[in-house]
Structure 1
């Protein structure tokens, strides 16, 4: 019967047995312990002896390299294993430069050439030798003899040791400061900037002084300071047309004092006429000209006390019934007047002399309504108080007023318009104010 040849894979079990036997022998010899290392059973040392046949069989077994998973394809007898490991490219060995790294023979050359911190590296620029770690951390990228590009991207290429001086003093793209306005510019644009620099010193166009002036101050200098600039007389607006150099203006003013005074008097008279016209126009624009005048009396408490102690009358601003209508004003006694004194608010209307009285129909006959507003927040719940009347043409209050009419004369109205008790019942007084409206009915007014 033949013997089946063992495969390299099954021979690994023999290798394990052989190593266990060697381990047991060393264990016995060194430690003197007579127990099996596999099952810890007691052994009789007299019965232990080398088995040469088993040893030969084991040593002739085919095995694979222990680094077969890493890629080693070596397969041979066990007895040749150590010789293979001594030169196996996958076996780990210590770096010969004593850098503490353990690495395979396969990667040793790359390690020694490129990554070993204790390798010696020669700089290609200065030809000096450096340990690998020192070269990588300090010298690489800092060699003064390395040729490099200018960091300002000006296109220059020079050794690093000359780079700082180039960028500071030679590079046309270096940043420099304008000596006049202190702003930063690229050196090649500085000259162009100086043609526009607001602080660049330039000569006065009138050549008044050899001292140069910043460009941005030239206009102010000519307009306000330059003694050689031609200027108009300070009384130009009054009508003086004289022009002369600024340094000669004082002499002109001294010699023409009376003429300038007359010009100013004429100007003042002209302006006074214009002011009067503008005031009249403004009055016409800003005053009521539709017959509805709303009058808000603020600081009610203070004015009421004044009315109590002084019987003070409050008179509204004048207003017109229409654009070319009657002129009138409302008056008010907060503590009452006549029959209403002390208990009521009295309200009256006064017909005043107007600009168009000569073309209006007299006596005044348009209906007038006085209203006291309820200032309640809810609009639908407001209860305004109103009183209306139609003027009696026989009453003197509604005749054509004369310019010498006494403005303090009492008009026509209601001495008992609203009692003080009713004022307290609702929001007739709010925020220390009351609001009264005077409404003139223009439906029957015939426009002149």
Structure 2
């Protein structure tokens, strides 16, 4: 906004006399159309203090003065006659020298200046002078010139850019045109339009696209640059270059193709050698696994034979027991039926009781023997400590997809278990490892809930003595807090139990653990006594 006028061209300055103390006193006499004609008139109409025409005339110490020339704190009464005479005097506009032809009574002069077209006002847009005494201040113009100034010369007026149609201040138009993306500029290569004169004009923003796609003088690399042709040719000459150097391009491409073929052959040979070594390793591993499986089958056959013999022995003892029971029943019947010889009956009864005691002892011994056979049988079919060596391939893809990975089932004693890995578990960036108790064929013979101690180990391929491992065990608190994890399974498997943050994804991908995008995880489980 324009600042308030405070200089020597204020309305008061133009019609009143301004004293040294900065106050405005009587009317300016030089503005009168008809000058005061006599000394008497001057004495009646002029203030004895400021020598201007009386303004609110009053008497003070026998002389006429303006009301504003009386010292402060003194009461005074206006002289109405003088005030009316002064108000009716005709004066010209103080801006007559600038061209204003207005004239009227003194009383209307101040109101005229509010509307005078020659009165200086500040630019409504607030533009400043760039030179002269007013340099750096808001520009002043006659009121009548403001519309023309705002339309034609004010540096802060808004203009419409003819190229991008955006509104820009006049003082900023030249810098805008230097950056305007729609301003036409000559092609940097000075290309011309066929059939026209002069350099082709392109919008500033379209220059990169013009050089990349259209300009016939833009130099481009030969399409056979990658094969060794190091020529840069103007776009319009490219077809001619390709035709003239076709035989050279052919030799370069054939040389490059042969080189790539040799590199491909070497790469394929390396892959073939690696695959051959891998196949040999797998065959050796399969052979060792086959021998191990054969041993297990032989042990199973021997265990089955022992089980058959134990079953037959149990059947024999049961038959013998049954026959002894029949004999005892017969003896008791004979005792009841025979009443002739009580002494003989007592002896027979004592013998029968002795035989019964012997038979019961034999049965107890056979039951103990059967129990020992079962324990031997169970000890041959499983081990008290279970260990799973689990090789996991495609580790990077599994971590990226955050998918769960399950192992094959394995036995700990007669308990059936299964391992599970959840990549990027609840703790962000961590790997979770869990153990499931699965439904097995011996669950009715086992003690529940199960207690065990587990150890998780990631093998270090570089230093086998520096594997990454943690150990934990199922305590009484865990049994009470997570009973569904350790009870006898009713579904295919129970709820899992393990660790949420075994190792971070970043650590597991280190070379010492991850080899050929694979890791080896050992899960060791040791059964603990029931609580």
Fold match (TM-score > 0.5): no
Q: TM-score, normalising length from structure 2?
A: 0.26
